[in-house]
Amino acid sequence: MNIQIQPAGQAANSNYSRVSINRTSLEDFILVGFTEDKELQVVLFCIFFMFFLLNITGNISILWFVTFDSSLHTPMYFFLGNLSFYDISFSSVVVPKMLYDFLSRQNTITFGGCIAQMHFFHFLGSSEVTLLTIMSYDRLVAISNPLRYSVIMNRNLCLGLVVGSYIIGFLHSLLHTLFTAKLPFCGPNRVNHFFCDVKPVLILACSDISVNLKLLTMVTGYLATTSFLLTLFPNILISKFLLKIQTVQGRKRAFSTCSAHLMVVSLLFGTAMFTYLGPSSQDILDQDRAAAVLFTVVTPALNPVIYTLRNKDMKKAMKRVIQKWLKI
């Protein structure tokens, strides 16, 4: 490592006074995780493994039903199928490594692996946030203009919106990973988290990170906040249209679909805003670690339960597929 002591009076370009770091020297990071208690690690492994198993089986089931049941070939279920894909991928970026660390107790990750995990975590997470916003406007069109719903939400538009969510997520993530990867890391290598998120990695850098933290708040924090407000607005309009629906059955069905979506939005957006709009002290990072469990482990596993148990079309599709299998 090339270290040069600066002359007295010259401003240092790092968190360490009078020291200039010319390149990254750390090859590995150590993920602190949740606890060093071996018995508690076994308990947490079992709990998180069950949630991850529920996530994989539930979301793969939704993808299967949406793909092979023709009655679900509508814009709403096209978006729901993509949401299931996001949930599987998003959780898989973090949870398998975390489960492995519980068993191996090594908790190490290479610098390149850390940056890659950070990139895909924010790529898939921000893409899912964008998709949830799109789904809210899809529901607004379906309820406010049902006769022209299939014309307005045509295949090309739906495909373009989903591709757009990928692009937004990728560009957002690329911004953070590039600005983080170019920082010098020369000192402590213990990441106070169970995966490589931007904030706990940034505080280990040997240079000024004020620009990175501002980007994190302005880009990630306000992306989550803006998406939440854009999601809330169509749901307010939907509530007005629900009051105009004459039949109790129709009103109940529409309310069931929208309330399920709001439950998912509240869980994901609430924890995201709490994490990325807050400060970066060690105490806050401990809270961020607990909040991260919600949107990496719990929410992806609950989404299939929320959307299937509160959706009659999905339950009917499940019955048809099961009956078809029983006949075979």
pLDDT digits (tens, 9 = 90+) for 134-159: 998 998 898 888 889 989 999 999 99
Task: Let me know if residue 307 belongs to a domain.
Answer: yes
* CATH code: domain of residue 274: 1.20.1070.10
Residue-wise over 178-202: b if at least 16 C-beta within 10 A, else e? ebbbebbbbeebebbbbbbbbbbbb
Helix axes 111-144, 222-244, angle to 10 degrees: 20
Residue 124 near residue 169, CB atoms below 8 Å? yes
The answer to whether position 73 is within a domain reads yes
Domain that residue 323 falls in: 28-327
User: What angle in degrees, to the nearest 10, is found between the helix axes of 111-144 and 155-181?
Assistant: 150
104-121 average pLDDT score: 90
Structural domain includes residue 208? yes
Q: What pLDDT was estimated at residue 283?
A: 57
Q: Are strands 28-31 and 108-110 parallel, antiparallel or unpaired?
A: antiparallel
Token pair recorded at residue 221 = 């924090």
Answer yes or no: is 204 within a domain.
yes
C-alpha 158 chain-centroid distance: 21
In a domain, 18, yes or no: no
Rounded to the nearest integer, the mean pLDDT of the chain is 81
d(CA 281, CA 9): 29
Structure-model confidence comparison of residues 277 and 114, the more confident one: 114
- Token digits of residue 58: 């539930």
Q: Is position 1 within any domain?
A: no
Asked whether the predicted pLDDT for residue 41 surpasses 70, the reply is yes
Mean pLDDT, residues 92-119: 91
How many CB atoms within 10 Å of residue 251?
Answer: 16
Does residue 72 surpass a pLDDT of 50? Answer: yes
Is 219 contained in some domain?
yes
Asked if residue 271 lies in contact with residue 228, where contact means CB atoms within 8 angstroms, the answer is no
**63-67, 277-281, 314-318, range with greatest mean pLDDT:** 63-67
Q: Which of 5, 3, 311, 7 is nearest to 139 (CA)?
A: 311
Which pLDDT value is given to residue 12? 36
Whether residue 162 is contained in a domain is answered as yes
Q: pLDDT tens-digit profile of 184-241?
A: 888 788 888 899 998 889 988 888 888 888 888 888 877 778 888 888 888 888 877 7
What share of the chain in percent tops pLDDT 90? Answer: 30
Strand partners, 5: 19
In sequence order, the β-bridge partners of residue 30 are: 108, 190
Position 285 scores a pLDDT of 63
For residue 129, give every residue at least 6 positions away whose Cβ sits within 8 Å of its Cβ, in sequence order, or none: 223, 224, 227, 268, 269, 272
pLDDT at 47 over 90: yes
For 245-304, write each residue's pLDDT tens digit: 666 666 666 666 667 667 777 777 777 777 776 665 555 666 777 788 888 888 888 888
pTM of the model: 0.82
What pLDDT was estimated at residue 249? 65
Which H, E and C letters describe the chain, residue by residue? CCEEECCCCCCCCCCCCCEEECCCCCCEEEECCCCCCHHHHHHHHHHHHHHHHHHHHHHHHHHHHHHHCHHHCCHHHHHHHHHHHHHHHHHHHHHHHHHHHHHHCCCEEEHHHHHHHHHHHHHHHHHHHHHHHHHHHHHHHHHHCHHHHHHHCCHHHHHHHHHHHHHHHHHHHHHHHHHHHCCCCCCCCEECCCCCCHHHHHCCCCCCCHHHHHHHHHHHHHHHHHHHHHHHHHHHHHHHHHHHCCCHHHHHHHHHHHHHHHHHHHHHHHHHHHHHCCCCCHHHHHHHHHHHHHHHHHHHHHHHHHHHHCCHHHHHHHHHHHHHHHHC
Region 17-26 average pLDDT: 44
- What is the number of structural domains in the chain? 1
Of 162 and 296, the structure prediction assigns the larger pLDDT to: 162
